[in-house]
Structure 1
Amino acid sequence: MGKLSIPILGFLLLFFAAAAGDTKKYLKYKDPKQPLGVRIKDLMSRMTLQEKIGQMVQVERSVATPDVMKKYFIGSVLSGGGSVPPKASAETWVKTVNDIQKGALSTRLGIPMIYGIDAVHGHNNVYKATIFPHNVGLGVTRDPQLIKRIGEATALEVRATGIPYVFAPCIAVCVDPRWGRCYESYSEDSRIVQALTEIIPGLQGDLPANSKKGVPFVAPGKTKVAACAKHYVGDGGTTRGINENNTVISLNGLLNIHMPAYFNAITKGVATVMVSYSSWNGKKMHANRDLVTGFLKNKMKFRGIVISDWQGIDRITSPPHANYSYSVEAGVSAGIDMVMVPYNFTEFIDDLTYQEHRELAREAVRKSLVLLKNGESADEPLLPLPKKAPKILVAGSHADNLGYQCGGWTITWQGLGGNDLTSGTTILSGISTAVDPSTEIIYSESPNADFVKANNFSYAIVVVGEPPYAEMAGDNLNLTIPEPGLSTITNVCGSVKCVVVIVSGRPLVIEPYLSRIDALVAAWLPGTEGQGVADVIFGDYGFTGKLPRTWFKTVDQLPMNVGDDHYDPLFPFGFGLTTEPAKSS
């Protein structure tokens, strides 16, 4: 999250030759003679986190002052429906775009912004522009070459106003004419829609013969624009034709009806793809990582920009904007590279910056875990756990409690509180995210032995430890794991293969239970990012941590530190088993 997409940089660099001008100091990223990969690497090495996040943001023309462009490093600007400068002539459009561009070029790195507009049937936001028939009429013609010529004419008129990017074509397959946007669809027949994607080379130019599939192409010069295939995917198939509704269809149906035109668009080098407001079988497209990253980027090899729709990530939650931090994380994690946040861009930037900090904390969690036991021998390790299993048990008082994860000095002095203490990811939710969707997770805070034996679990993860505390309240002469933690270990481990994760501010008495435990992990007090624990136990990353202090056998040995004559620890200072990331991860 929060990392600038390579496609965005490649797109931006197309405009450096025209917009950047001469520089006193030679910079590789501004040199159009350098290979694109060299320019991207050079520019990335110079960018701060704030500059990277700013480049992911697309704001509305009405708020895109030169000061805003410079202060927030905004990467793109758009005109929403009806948002036009006074008189909306070609001359006023050029001045508007140029004024905003001056603000972008005045930033430290001088990165030009990309201006986008809805030229969906000609340059329809400009006074005296040519207005072509809407797509429903063009579908009647079944004439790909006519549509290509319309694309060429539209591109010429758009570039005449200083704009390099259009949110067209709409390649929806409208299956229900009750949909209010049905006239934006070429046809109910996906084959006609596929054929009329020929508008893309009209807008962008014909692909060179040696082009790689999925790599966007916009011909150099001032007669072509970047196109946008929209709305990915299934926007024309919603229930009863209700806009932004749910498209209920099998994967096979989605691939046969709504997806084919995207194959054609990508084959023709389309520069961008816009995500649909709609859902597929209940899953919002703006949060659908499987279809955006898994299918569009990984399977179809699309290497252009994936852009959200207008306030698209706001609609991930219901009501819209209800949990904006979650929406930001879900949208960016799904694979959206550029986000249309027309007005509330400062909130988006702040939230995405915070998500980047959470990624840093998650990395710290991964590296702070210490693996103390992993099976009875090195030849039979339990970790990493398989993500795909019929049914697993997650148990323990600390599995689903942010307050326990964070410990003392968190919001309150003693850190008392549960999941209302702050926001973050519990270890349980991290596990739920990490496992295969087919894996059933049963959570029970303190299950009895009969329950465990009766359910035939593949394995269990038991998360137990200390309650939060600060000074005075944390003094403890016995250092035992409080109940029901010990009972949970006893009831679960021995009946099923189990990993015990200890959440604590120090070593605790564990030796009497060690023979029952198959794998033992010291997680300390990981904070808000419980996902980091799941990252390692499921093998996305390996265990690397080493004990920062001696783990004793009994409290009667204390104090005992490395170098003492009577040094006889359960796990010595610096101990920590290591694992390699799972091959399938």
Structure 2
Amino acid sequence: MKYSFIATLCITLVSCTINGKHDSLTSKPVNYEAKIDSILALMTIEEKIGQMTQVDQQFLDTIQDIADLSIGSLLSGGGSNPDTNFFDSWTDMYDNFQKVALTSRLGIPLIYGIDAVHGHNNVYGATIFPHNVGLGCANDYELTRKVSEATAVEVAATGINWNFSPCIAIPEDERWGRHYEGYSEDPEIVTNMGVASIEGYQTKTLGSSNISVVACAKHLVGDGATEWGTGMDNQPDKIDRGNALISDSLIRAKYLPPYIAAIKAGVGTVMASFNSIYGLKCHANGYLFNDLLKSELGFDGFVISDWQGIDEIPGDYKSDIILSINAGIDMVMVPGAVKWGGQHYKTFISLFKEAYDEGLISEERINDAVRRILRIKFRSGLMNNPMADRSLLKKAGGAEHRAIAREAVQKSLVLLKNDEMLPLAKDKNYLVCGSGADDIGKQCGGWTIEWQGKLGDITPGTTIWEGISNQASATLSADGQTDGSFDGAIVVVGEDPYTEMEGDSDSLYLSDVDKQTIANVQALNIPYTVVLITGRPLIVTEEIEAADAFIVAWLPGTEGNGVSDVLFGHVPPTGKLSFSWPKSMANVPVNYDDEDYNPLFKLGFGLTY
């Protein structure tokens, strides 16, 4: 197939090669601005608007729309998978979309985005790493870098070149359904882990290798600082997408440092936050993006909206487009989800063009946005190597990456109590029970295969039960009821998967089923250890007091052997709480900088042996 990319842009791109080598692989930095000038001069206003449009692949009317509308980006939201959810199917899907993009008049390739927030978590068979809450407790720069690099390899194997990660929010309320996406309540930990993650995704320099994918620092700003009861539609039991009462001085002192570090690390993109600040939606806040991020901090990548993020700005959809683009949003994640109350991407493009024709969005502003988008497409190597590198498929979900995930699990566990119970002896006989003992879906949490995650055998991996049975004699009983005789019990309980606002909750207790399982084990009069699966600190004060040992595994992912490695003393627990642990719901929210700071366990707590 011949692509117009070669025919039309050969003069402006000057082949994008230097002595046969990929521009981004040369040792000297390459200035792409002259090439971008040449491309902009060739583009119609419709083609520029197309570059600023991102569509979820599942909502495309036809694949030909990619070329006909000069669409600049596609994404796969949670659960937006090919018909067969395997690595090679993803790679085929990506290449098919990219081939169509390259037949457009100017042949500018697509940048394809995905939420690979703890591994390439949409794909069956991918390595699923611990969520950020666990990595924050490990607080190991090199480990986080390795986790992100392994994720980048698996993402790049499918052709995808842009990851909506890392989340560098500072979660301050345990009731928030995105709490586990943050590394810590401590800005210093968030900053360090964010930089490590960006380095892992992009490598030292964006585009410097075939495994480099564009990172996205998110969400600017204050997403973890919203007030309870101000969430979507001001529902009294929601906090996600709510209102943050944070001053400019507080933004600069507390919430901005992770972004400053991300920019210094060369992050390619920044995502706008759903929340409001003193009632003004971030997606319409020109001070944040035009003045602070771009002018003051010198960010030269591009800003992407969140999923239907501009739709939540008060007013009609046309005014949403005008306000958000003029506020500094460079690309809009439309994404075309009409069936879920969103707008069609063709409606977005049409209304955008109307606003331009009426002088409500200037061509200068549009050119700046498109320049930023093209800059990242060049800088990442996408313009010269748009197709998937299938040689990476052999590494996806392989032993090397699973070993990194196992190490991450080991280092993320936090021991809260140990009355001479741990490490467990291998020559004893154990009862293993609880809702999380033999459930990969529960171990992985949200953002796994589906947007909300799902219980059960959703992807290959080792459950905690399987890991324990690999180490010692053990019997599985889901509810802890048994007629057998055991030397001790391991009770694995905790939260079912959730994502975003679906996880907002003002009742942070174990389920009645989990409580009954613990009661059943207590009736056996044998010593027991509780392993807690959770995306946030829960109110388990009584359960901790009653147990002989209590360890928090967070959302460990597919490598359950990492939990048993710690339980049986192959490696000691080294994780330290990156969040304060509340005593009761009356103690929620609790943060280390509270004036009346009095948690059950302080930030940084963690036992070892």
What is the TM-score of this pair, normalised by structure 1? 0.55
Amino acid aligned to 1:323: D
Structure 1 residue 29: Cα displacement: 2.5
**Shift in CA distance, 266/20, structure 1 to aligned 2, threshold 3 Å:** farther
Structure 1 outlier segments of 4+, above 6 Å: 360-363
Is the contact made by 2:5 and 2:105 (CA closer than 8 Å) also made in structure 1? no
Is the contact made by 2:163 and 2:215 (CA closer than 8 Å) also made in structure 1? yes
**Shift in CA distance, 225/291, structure 1 to aligned 2, threshold 3 Å:** same
Is the contact made by 1:97 and 1:162 (CA closer than 8 Å) also made in structure 2? yes
Structure 1 residue 152: Cα displacement: 0.7
Question: Which residue of structure 2 lines up, in the alignment, with residue 205 of structure 1?
Answer: 203
Distance in 1 (CA, whole Å) between partners of 2:41 and 2:361 is: 22
Question: Which residue of structure 2 lines up, in the alignment, with residue 42 of structure 1?
Answer: 38
Question: Which residue of structure 2 lines up, in the alignment, with residue 192 of structure 1?
Answer: 189
Q: RCO higher in 1 or 2 (8 Å CA, sep ≥ 6)?
A: 2
Distance in 1 (CA, whole Å) between partners of 2:304 and 2:177 is: 22
Question: Which residue of structure 1 lines up, in the alignment, with residue 331 of structure 2?
Answer: 338
**Shift in CA distance, 24/185, structure 1 to aligned 2, threshold 3 Å:** closer
Structure 1 residue 250: Cα displacement: 1.6
Structure 1 residue 220: Cα displacement: 3.4
Does 2:31 match 1:58?
no
Question: Which residue of structure 1 lines up, in the alignment, with residue 275 of structure 2?
Answer: 278
Out of 219, 223, 229, the position equivalent to 2:211 is: 223
Out of 99, 103, 106, the position equivalent to 2:103 is: 106
Out of 28, 47, 60, the position equivalent to 2:12 is: 28
Is the contact made by 1:88 and 1:126 (CA closer than 8 Å) also made in structure 2? yes
Distance in 2 (CA, whole Å) between partners of 1:261 and 1:186 is: 11
Question: Which residue of structure 2 lines up, in the alignment, with residue 169 of structure 1?
Answer: 166
Question: Which residue of structure 1 lines up, in the alignment, with residue 357 of structure 2?
Answer: 357
Is the contact made by 2:286 and 2:326 (CA closer than 8 Å) also made in structure 1? yes
**Shift in CA distance, 140/93, structure 1 to aligned 2, threshold 3 Å:** same
Structure 1 residue 24: Cα displacement: 8.1
Percent identical across equivalent pairs? Answer: 45
Is the contact made by 1:66 and 1:104 (CA closer than 8 Å) also made in structure 2? no
* CA deviation string 1:127-171 (max 9, x = no partner): 110000000000001111110111110100100011111000000
Does 2:128 match 1:144?
no
Structure 1 residue 21: Cα displacement: 6.9
Question: For 2:249, what is the secondary structure of its paired residue?
Answer: helix
**Shift in CA distance, 249/362, structure 1 to aligned 2, threshold 3 Å:** closer
Count the aligned residue pairs. 332
Distance in 2 (CA, whole Å) between partners of 1:203 and 1:152 is: 5
Amino acid aligned to 2:323: A
Is the contact made by 2:9 and 2:106 (CA closer than 8 Å) also made in structure 1? no
Question: Which residue of structure 2 lines up, in the alignment, with residue 3 of structure 1?
Answer: none
Amino acid aligned to 1:256: A
What is the TM-score of this pair, normalised by structure 2? 0.53
Is the contact made by 2:173 and 2:225 (CA closer than 8 Å) also made in structure 1? yes
Question: Which residue of structure 2 lines up, in the alignment, with residue 259 of structure 1?
Answer: 256
Distance in 2 (CA, whole Å) between partners of 1:183 and 1:66 is: 36
Does 2:90 match 1:93?
yes
Does 2:125 match 1:128?
yes
Amino acid aligned to 1:54: G
Structure 1 residue 362: Cα displacement: 9.1
Amino acid aligned to 2:325: V
Is the contact made by 2:168 and 2:182 (CA closer than 8 Å) also made in structure 1? yes
Is the contact made by 2:222 and 2:275 (CA closer than 8 Å) also made in structure 1? yes
Structure 1 residue 282: Cα displacement: 1.1
Is the contact made by 1:31 and 1:39 (CA closer than 8 Å) also made in structure 2? no
Does 2:325 match 1:325?
no
* CA deviation string 1:61-83 (max 9, x = no partner): 11333211012110000011111
Question: Which residue of structure 1 lines up, in the alignment, with residue 376 of structure 2?
Answer: none
**Shift in CA distance, 31/20, structure 1 to aligned 2, threshold 3 Å:** farther
Structure 1 residue 361: Cα displacement: 10
Is the contact made by 1:87 and 1:127 (CA closer than 8 Å) also made in structure 2? no
Is the contact made by 2:313 and 2:320 (CA closer than 8 Å) also made in structure 1? yes
- Unaligned runs of 5+ residues in structure 1 are 1-18, 208-217, 364-585
Distance in 2 (CA, whole Å) between partners of 1:25 and 1:284 is: 39
Structure 1 residue 31: Cα displacement: 2.4
**Shift in CA distance, 83/90, structure 1 to aligned 2, threshold 3 Å:** same
Distance in 1 (CA, whole Å) between partners of 2:219 and 2:174 is: 17
Amino acid aligned to 1:226: V
Distance in 2 (CA, whole Å) between partners of 1:155 and 1:25 is: 29
Structure 1 residue 59: Cα displacement: 0.1
Structure 1 residue 37: Cα displacement: 1.4
Question: For 1:239, what is the secondary structure of its paired residue?
Answer: coil
Question: For 2:335, what is the secondary structure of its paired residue?
Answer: coil
